[in-house]
Structure 1
């Protein structure tokens, strides 16, 4: 099953064999043996590409679950002997500011070197779904007030307002505060429509009864800041995150929308690595709400 996953991920038998640290002939032989046992081909092979067959597409989710369960079983045995190991899959929005995530990961790695850490950034709604599905162990979110992640356990980390961020030479750069009616005259960069990150600002302008032009839609806050620096647009970002952009003026909003940063994890018993990570943050997985 590991070989099948590797081929599916790389679309190449040679690269999959290198990833699995085996010779290609052994990998091909084991996959062919599995296909005979299943009575179906898992891959369509040509001289140029390797693609999953419909049977392979159906096999893949169950294979992932089986391998995850086997790894979880090994991690539980190790934890019973006092050793934390296994994988820790973390998700985060690009504007996470309630914790210094790189610093937290460094400290966790130094303490638990046998844990394989992975990190991916995505919109909050996608992270919630991936935690529900078990693809991520924990995730850091940013949601509007009154919105709670469903189908997961979690806790609130911090609350804060959004602020306007402009280029150093922007006419508003020397203003201490401004209202949304004035900002609506500007061209904006923001997260894609329909995402939780965009919902904060859209709701605020709707409540103020004004419309704005969002000419640039991006998924990463750092790229948003680069567009702002060039004077192409202004943006609205969480105050705690915007304060780290030392070269860009920050303007308080008189009718500022607020957001809450959450940390979430599965409703089911977390893995030893996930439980250790939550503990490192001072959080008990069993005591937080869902």
Structure 2
């Protein structure tokens, strides 16, 4: 069993196509198919079901895929550790963040990291906090920046609190509340809301605050990014609540203080198994030490 065969399996699984997988891996399709067939013979099981219309994993393939990814990650990490031992930082840096991160300048930090470590391949993904925690646990993300209500902590990962911030109301410039110095949750509960999807950490902050106050609200628009929330608010379709440190990035909307607003806590999170050299170097760019005691999430 060879690492290259595992790369081919992962590529086919992710693209659902032998042709696209071969293009990604920069090999001819016949060579990729031959190596996967050779691996299947060695394993004694077919990894993919092939039809004229689609390619999908068999049960055996679904069982093999996570282990293959772990092997590839381990090989990549081994090479990075060797490079680090001779004074070089190489490999990959996968960063995840929520769309409303405000405690750090992610783009600026990545620019500085690339300047210092040009041989590291950087990737970035924007997801909900709970999904990012899972990806850190699985090794798909090296460092994640999360936002959680005060009632929750990152679970199953190492994390360091970065900042706390109150939410503010976000309304259209011509909304009746736009001229008010402050508002409370009871008044806001009479409005139609634009918010993040239900059962996400970003949504929970507001849901818990209204519930604790004995109030309900109408969330008519559920979207996945703060930018789209702001655009819908700007058009007068609803109001929203977003972190006060983030809203200065938005245009076309007005903010109003909320006297009984919930608090959002931002964290940096990484694997309990330790950081790769690239992840350690990136956290150092942000002045976040990983060799000091950290708050271990439960789970």
TM-score (norm 1): 0.97
Identify the match of residue 201 of structure 1 among 199, 206, 221: 206
Aligned to 1:150: 155
CA distance in 1 between partners of 2:288 and 2:187 (Å) = 42
The one-character-per-residue Cα deviations of 1:172-208 (angstroms, maximum 9, x if unpaired) are 1111111111111100011112111111111111222
Q: How many Å separate the matches in 1 of 2:42 and 2:276?
A: 32
Distance 1:164 1:288 in 2: 36
Return the alpha-carbon distance in structure 1 between the equivalents of residues 176 and 235 of structure 2: 14
SS in 2 for 1:240: coil
- 2:42 equivalent to 1:45: no
8 Å CA contact 2:227–2:250 kept in 1: the answer is no
Distance 2:205 2:175 in 1: 23
**Residues in 2 aligned to 1:100 and 1:157: alpha-carbon distance in whole angstroms:** 12
- Distance in structure 2 (CA, Å) of the matches to 1:221 and 1:51: 35
Name the SS of the counterpart of 2:230 in structure 1. Answer: helix
Counterparts of 1:126 and 1:190 in 2: how far apart (Å)?
A: 18
In structure 2, the partner of 1:110 is: 115
User: For residues 196 and 251 of structure 2, what CA distance do their matches in structure 1 show?
Assistant: 21
* Equivalent position of 1:267 in the other structure: 272
Distance in 2 (CA, whole Å) between partners of 1:176 and 1:202 is: 23
- Correspondence 1:1-290 to 2 at 5 A: 1-289=6-294, 290=296
Gaps of at least 5 residues in structure 2 are 1-5
Distance 1:190 1:23 in 2: 47
Shift of 1:80: 0.6
Q: Secondary structure at the match of 2:179?
A: coil
Report the Cα distance in structure 1 between the residues aligned to 2:272 and 2:291, rounded to whole angstroms. 10
CA distance in 1, matches of 2:162, 2:182: 26
Matched residues, number: 290
Detail structure 1 runs of 4+ shifted over 4 Å in the superposition. Answer: none
- Residue 3 of structure 2 aligns with which residue? none
Shift of 1:237: 0.2
CA contact (8 A) 1:93 1:141 kept: yes
CA-to-partner distance for each residue in 1:132-159, whole Å, 9 max, x for gaps? 2222111101111242212211111111
In 2, are the aligned partners of 1:153 and 1:288 still within 8 Å (CA)?
Answer: no
Instruction: With the length of structure 2 as denominator, give the TM-score of the two structures.
Output: 0.94
